[in-house]
């Protein structure tokens, strides 16, 4: 068996890359042949296939009419990606192509090429791109499902990107791949949550969708049921993550509480100046991040978009920490309300404040919830289960 992984980033950038490298390592460790296809970047990890990667593309900083026109076309369909991938396919002859985040830099045009060479295609759904051209189902910060997997003119007419040209480009991209039937050539769509599976079923037949939860290495993350009395937020400092709601909720709490904010993003400098009970720690990784989670009392995930299968929630569960999460998207599948954590109404700072204050006053309940969270993780979200089930999907496709 030979597996080709395709993802536009080949360094540890976000959740989709975490999943990619987990799966890739699992296959390597079992002597399964792995081929890489991605975009050139100085931050990339080593790959013997780097010579086949597409050139680095930075859509945000392109200048000059010709470059912008060229990038506008490549945004929809990359001829470079198709040409380079074809040479790689001919050379390596993979059995399965497992695609992760391929949009804009690699583009879905590679899917038809893979089918032309009789390669089975799997696409892991890290976002809502198939039903929302803007991929995160938001319209100027508000939850939106107007496109419903077919009304792809809406980004242009509703101006949900706050940019008419960008809305038009997303519209053209969606209709181009619908006309080309790009996604019709996918053999299996992997949904990390039941919520994602239900959303994508608006466009894709349920017989092609498999639910496969993201996984965490249960040996690497050991639970720590003692805590140092502080709450914790881990993630991007941006509006869709609900960070403003969290800060508003902190202002409503009469109890003495420290809240550590880990991460960076477009709102970091603005919100850091706000002061209050939140302590902004910036970006953390490795042992430093591990220790911060281990010593926390609970983790808050106040997202105001459709989270899929949140890695922040899984890391908290692995460390035996209760999660207070928005009752939206895939979060309620991960957090069992009043059993392994607490759910609150999305965007409701009063509700969030009451849930945080409740857990602050209940150390015994924090311990109970944290132990239940760890048990749920071991049952449903272990990396071993994720990877062994993935290997089973591979074998079923080939049989």
Rounded Cα distance between 333 and 336, Å, is: 7
Intrachain domains 2-215+383-398 and 230-380 with the same fold: yes
**Can you tell me which residue has the tokens 């991040």?**
289
pLDDT of residue 62: 59
- Per-residue pLDDT, averaged over 197-206, amounts to 95
3-state secondary structure of 121: strand
Q: Tens digit of pLDDT for each residue in 180-193?
A: 999 999 999 999 99
Burial 52-69 (b: 16+ CB within 10 A, else e): bbbeebeeeeeeeeeeee
Q: What architecture is the 230-380 domain classified under in CATH?
A: 3-Layer(aba) Sandwich (3.40)
- Per-residue pLDDT, averaged over 39-60, amounts to 92
Check pLDDT > 90 for residue 76. Answer: no
264-271 contacts: CB < 8 A, separation 24 or more? 264/236, 264/237, 265/236, 265/237, 265/238, 265/241, 266/237, 266/238, 267/237, 267/238, 267/239, 267/243, 268/237, 271/237, 271/243, 271/244, 271/247
Q: Tens digit of pLDDT for each residue in 358-389?
A: 999 999 999 999 999 999 999 999 999 999 99
Q: ∠236-220-289 over CA atoms, to 5°? A: 35
Check pLDDT > 60 for residue 220. Answer: yes
Contact 35, 2 (CB under 8 A): yes
pLDDT of residue 231: 96
pLDDT of residue 373: 98
Task: pLDDT band for 140, please (50, 70, 90 cuts).
Answer: confident
Q: Mean pLDDT for the chain?
A: 93
- Per-residue pLDDT, averaged over 214-223, amounts to 93
Give the distance from CA 109 to its chain's centroid. 22
Check pLDDT > 60 for residue 65. Answer: no
Check pLDDT > 80 for residue 70. Answer: no
Give the distance from CA 366 to its chain's centroid. 27
3-state secondary structure of 24: helix
What predicted TM-score, i.e. pTM, was given to this entire model? 0.92
Q: Tens digit of pLDDT for each residue in 323-343?
A: 999 999 999 999 999 999 999
- Per-residue pLDDT, averaged over 149-160, amounts to 88
* Pairwise pLDDT comparison (303 vs 276), residue with the higher score: 303
Task: pLDDT band for 110, please (50, 70, 90 cuts).
Answer: very high
**CA dihedral sign of residues 42, 47, 48, 49:** negative
pLDDT of residue 64: 58
pLDDT of residue 242: 96
Task: pLDDT band for 396, please (50, 70, 90 cuts).
Answer: very high
Check pLDDT > 90 for residue 24. Answer: yes
- Per-residue pLDDT, averaged over 207-223, amounts to 95
Check pLDDT > 70 for residue 22. Answer: yes
Per-domain residue ranges for the chain? 2-215+383-398, 230-380
pLDDT of residue 199: 96
Paired with 231 in beta bridges are 259, 298
pLDDT of residue 56: 93
E strand map for the chain: 2-6, 33-37, 96-99, 120-124, 138-139, 142-143, 188-191, 209-211, 230-234, 258-262, 278-282, 298-301, 323-326, 341-344
Task: pLDDT band for 163, please (50, 70, 90 cuts).
Answer: confident
Cβ atoms within 10 Å of 317's Cβ, excluding its own: 31
* Pairwise pLDDT comparison (68 vs 253), residue with the higher score: 253
- Per-residue pLDDT, averaged over 93-117, amounts to 96
- Per-residue pLDDT, averaged over 22-35, amounts to 96
Give the class (CATH, top level) of 2-215+383-398: alpha beta
Check pLDDT > 70 for residue 63. Answer: no
Q: Picking from 11-15, 71-75, 82-86, 327-331, which range would have the lowest pLDDT averaged per residue?
A: 71-75
Contact 94, 78 (CB under 8 A): no
Percent of the chain with pLDDT over 90: 82
Q: Tens digit of pLDDT for each residue in 343-360?
A: 999 999 999 999 999 999
Check pLDDT > 90 for residue 120. Answer: yes
Check pLDDT > 80 for residue 96. Answer: yes
pLDDT of residue 254: 83
| Distance in angstroms between the alpha carbons of the first and the last residue of the chain | 12
């Amino acid at each position: 068996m030979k597996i080709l992984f395709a993802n536009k980033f080949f360094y540890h950038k976000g959740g989709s890359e975490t999943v990619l490298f987990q799966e890739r390592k699992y296959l390597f460790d079992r002597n399964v042949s792995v081929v890489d296809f991605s975009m050139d970047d100085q931050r990339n990890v080593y790959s013997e296939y780097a010579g086949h990667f597409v050139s680095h593309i930075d859509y945000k900083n392109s200048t000059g009419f010709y470059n912008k026109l060229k990038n506008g076309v490549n945004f929809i369909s990359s001829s470079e990606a198709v040409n380079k991938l074809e040479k790689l396919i001919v050379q390596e002859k993979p059995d399965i192509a497992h695609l992760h985040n391929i949009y804009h830099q690699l583009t879905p045009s590679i899917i038809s090429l893979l089918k032309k060479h009789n390669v089975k295609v799997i696409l892991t759904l890290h976002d809502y791109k198939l039903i929302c051209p803007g991929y995160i189902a938001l319209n100027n910060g508000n939850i939106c499902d107007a496109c419903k997997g077919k009304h792809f003119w809406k980004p242009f007419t509703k101006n949900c990107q706050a940019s008419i040209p960008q809305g038009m480009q997303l519209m053209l991209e969606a209709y181009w791949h619908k006309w080309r039937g790009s996604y019709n050539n996918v053999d299996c769509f992997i949904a990390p949550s039941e919520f994602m599976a239900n959303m994508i079923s608006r466009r894709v037949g349920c017989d092609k969708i498999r639910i496969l939860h993201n996984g965490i290495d249960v040996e690497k993350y050991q639970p720590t049921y003692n805590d140092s009395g502080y709450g914790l937020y881990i993630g991007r400092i941006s509006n869709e993550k609900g960070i403003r709601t969290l800060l508003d909720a902190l202002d409503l709490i009469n109890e003495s509480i420290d809240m550590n904010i880990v991460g960076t993003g477009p709102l970091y400098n603005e919100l850091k100046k706000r002061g209050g009970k939140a302590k902004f720690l910036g970006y953390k990784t490795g042992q430093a991040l591990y220790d911060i989670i281990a010593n926390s009392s609970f983790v808050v995930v106040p997202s105001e978009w459709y989270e899929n299968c949140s890695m922040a929630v899984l890391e908290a569960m692995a460390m035996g920490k209760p999660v207070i999460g928005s009752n939206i998207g895939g979060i309620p599948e991960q957090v069992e309300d009043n059993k392994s954590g607490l759910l609150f109404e999305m965007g409701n700072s009063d509700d969030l404040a009451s849930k945080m204050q409740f857990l602050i006053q209940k150390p015994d309940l924090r311990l109970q919830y944290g132990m239940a969270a760890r048990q749920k993780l071991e049952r449903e979200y272990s990396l071993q289960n994720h990877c062994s089930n993935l290997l089973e999907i591979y074998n079923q496709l080939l049989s």
